[in-house]
């Protein structure tokens, strides 16, 4: 999801909602052991309560946190992820604006440090990709001590994570006894990446694969398809418990999304996607017409954008 001209154009082209291709229960790709269940989240803030806080935090384990920004602060209502290792913590995205996000992050860091004897921890602030609804809070972190702020361009992302050949190589990033895989997945946006955590077997999938409209800019579908293939190849070799994306735009009714810029999200679909969605996305991208058309599935919609209108 993004806030640029292309996405505003896409919202004017939004269509109805129907699809009956149900994604099955959680499967484990590329592993013989039984599948683990997706994280059991409580009800997320969804804009339906007047007293809703600006952020909501849920804990996956003692070192892994999910932060949801209220739709009342910004209709994008993104999810941010904070992962702690022994030496560093990784924050994926800084929100869509309309609030101060750093106080929530600083509180989580301080609480984690208190539980670990005041251990010093360096914060790495990175992004699933470079659209504005994922880096609006960056300025809050520029002067923060012990903090690295990763740039938004593919070259800056590649340089920080030591990816020699973008987007073909997959990098490993050590937080300190917690190694993450950084997977370049351009198409939705040039610097888009996913983060895989072997400890929790979770894949943080940004805006390329989440319960919602998977926007693909005009002329970028080949890149998107190549990223889907790269993702499927990775999934075939790594056990994936669930995918956690950056938004929820689908209702609990299969195939039905919310209207563009919806102010509330009653009866949301759950956040985690089954790893089976990776194969479903790869197949959808491979079968897409030329030019590609909107393709609705139970838990996501492949949403090619029309060409930009003349300015």
Supply 144's token pair. 């923060």
* Three-state SS at 155: helix
Interatomic CA distance for residues 244 and 201, integer angstroms: 11
Interatomic CA distance for residues 73 and 297, integer angstroms: 29
Each residue of 221-259: pLDDT tens digit? 999 999 999 999 999 999 999 999 999 999 999 999 999
Q: How confident is the model at residue 310 (pLDDT cuts 50, 70, 90)?
A: confident
Each residue of 192-203: pLDDT tens digit? 999 999 999 999
Query: Within a domain: residue 12?
Result: yes
Interatomic CA distance for residues 95 and 103, integer angstroms: 13
Report the pLDDT value the prediction gives residue 4, as an integer from 0 to 100.
Answer: 45
CB 218 within 8 A of CB 308: yes
Query: Within a domain: residue 175?
Result: yes
Q: Is the pLDDT of residue 266 over 80?
A: yes
CB 187 within 8 A of CB 181: no
Interatomic CA distance for residues 75 and 67, integer angstroms: 15
Supply 217's token pair. 């800019």
Q: Is the pLDDT of residue 272 over 50?
A: yes
Supply 79's token pair. 């999810």
Q: Which of 242, 246, 211, 214 is nearest to 227 (CA)?
A: 214
CB 235 within 8 A of CB 278: yes
Interatomic CA distance for residues 196 and 242, integer angstroms: 10
Interatomic CA distance for residues 97 and 171, integer angstroms: 30
CB 165 within 8 A of CB 124: no
Q: Which of 74, 5, 44 is nearest to 305 (CA)?
A: 5
Interval 165-174 mean pLDDT: 98
Q: Could you list the residue range(s) of the whole structural domain that residue 104 is in?
A: 5-30+37-304
Query: Within a domain: residue 310?
Result: no
Interatomic CA distance for residues 186 and 167, integer angstroms: 7
Query: Within a domain: residue 275?
Result: yes
Q: How confident is the model at residue 1 (pLDDT cuts 50, 70, 90)?
A: low
Query: Within a domain: residue 222?
Result: yes
Query: Beta strands of 114-200 (E only): which ranges?
Result: 122-126, 147-149, 171-174, 179-184, 193-197
- Here the CATH number for the domain that contains residue 293 is 3.60.15.10
Q: How confident is the model at residue 2 (pLDDT cuts 50, 70, 90)?
A: low
Number of domains composing the chain: 1
Query: Within a domain: residue 15?
Result: yes
| Radius of gyration for the chain, computed over Cα atoms and rounded to the nearest angstrom | 18
Report the pLDDT value the prediction gives residue 28, as an integer from 0 to 100.
Answer: 36
Average pLDDT value for the chain = 91
Interatomic CA distance for residues 279 and 25, integer angstroms: 13
Strands 79-84 and 64-69: antiparallel
Q: How confident is the model at residue 107 (pLDDT cuts 50, 70, 90)?
A: very high
Q: Is the pLDDT of residue 126 over 70?
A: yes
* Three-state SS at 108: helix
Each residue of 12-59: pLDDT tens digit? 433 333 333 333 333 333 333 455 799 999 999 999 998 999 999 999
Report the pLDDT value the prediction gives residue 13, as an integer from 0 to 100.
Answer: 38
**Residues forming a β-bridge with 172:** 181
Interval 213-219 mean pLDDT: 98
Q: Give the global pTM.
A: 0.90
Report the pLDDT value the prediction gives residue 196, as an integer from 0 to 100.
Answer: 98
């Amino acid at each position: 999801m993004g806030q640029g001209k292309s996405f505003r154009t896409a919202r004017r082209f939004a269509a109805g909602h129907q699809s009956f291709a149900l994604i099955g229960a959680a499967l484990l790709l590329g592993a013989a052991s039984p599948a683990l269940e997706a994280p059991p989240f409580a009800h997320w803030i969804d804009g339906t309560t007047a007293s809703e806080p600006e952020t909501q935090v849920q804990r996956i384990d003692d070192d892994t946190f999910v932060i949801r920004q209220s739709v009342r602060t910004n209709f994008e209502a993104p999810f941010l992820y904070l992962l702690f290792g022994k030496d560093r913590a990784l924050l994926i995205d800084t929100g869509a604006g309309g609030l101060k996000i750093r106080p929530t992050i600083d509180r989580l860091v301080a609480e984690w440090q208190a539980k670990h004897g005041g251990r010093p921890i360096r914060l790495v602030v990175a992004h699933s990709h470079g659209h504005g609804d994922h880096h609006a809070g960056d300025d809050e972190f520029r002067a923060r001590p012990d903090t690295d702020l990763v740039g938004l361009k593919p070259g800056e992302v590649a340089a920080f994570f030591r990816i020699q050949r973008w987007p073909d190589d997959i990098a490993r990033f050590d937080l300190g006894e917690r190694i993450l895989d950084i997977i370049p997945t351009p198409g939705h946006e040039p610097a888009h990446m996913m983060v895989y955590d072997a400890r929790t077997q979770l894949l943080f999938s940004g805006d390329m694969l989440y319960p919602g409209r998977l926007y693909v800019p005009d002329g970028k579908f080949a890149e998107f398809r190549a990223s889907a293939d790269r993702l499927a190849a990775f999934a075939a070799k790594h056990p994936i418990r669930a995918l956690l994306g950056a938004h929820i735009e689908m209702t609990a009714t299969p195939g039905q999304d919310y209207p563009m810029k919806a102010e509330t999200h009653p009866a949301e679909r759950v956040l985690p996607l089954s790893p089976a969605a990776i194969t479903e996305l790869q197949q959808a991208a491979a079968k897409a017409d030329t030019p590609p058309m909107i393709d609705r599935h139970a838990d996501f919609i492949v949403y090619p954008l029309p060409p930009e209108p003349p300015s």
